A = this chain, B = another copy of it.
Amino acid sequence: MAFHKKEEFTQKEQDLANFAKAMSHPARIAILKVLAQRNECICGELVDMLPLAQSTVSQHLKELKNAGLINGETDGPRSCYCINWKAFEKFNNEFNLLFSNLKIKNEKACC
């Protein structure tokens, strides 16, 4: 963006947006789905499951980790990832909070 306008929004708005951004790519959704199914940590098996190069998968994992959606432990030459529960619940709550009013006023829709 031509000149960091993002910083002019509230912290909560930025946090929610960052959370959403972390999930804004099908590869990262797929990764989260796998980590959800087997809640044991996975490593390079993800590379075999996704139609992407190893370096690309690694990059997506890094983004998910930076956003706090997953935890990673580098275990010797292998790496082990799993979902970060607390972050997920926190954002899920804020998300619902943002739209909780809406569900009540639903009928008054104007367009």
Contacts and interface: CB of A to CB of B under 8 A. Distances in A.
27 contacts: A5-B51, A6-B27, A8-B51, A9-B51, A13-B33, A16-B26, A17-B23, A17-B24, A17-B25, A20-B20, A20-B22, A21-B24, A21-B25, A32-B98, A32-B99, A37-B101, A39-B105, A39-B108, A40-B110, A41-B110, A41-B111, A72-B111, A80-B111, A81-B111, A82-B109, A82-B111, A85-B103
Task: State how many copies of this chain the complex holds.
Answer: 2
B20 A23 contact: yes
Contacts of A27: 5-6, 9
A102 B40 CA distance: 11
Given A17-B24, A20-B29, A80-B111, 4 more contacts: A16-B29, A20-B22, A32-B98, A41-B110
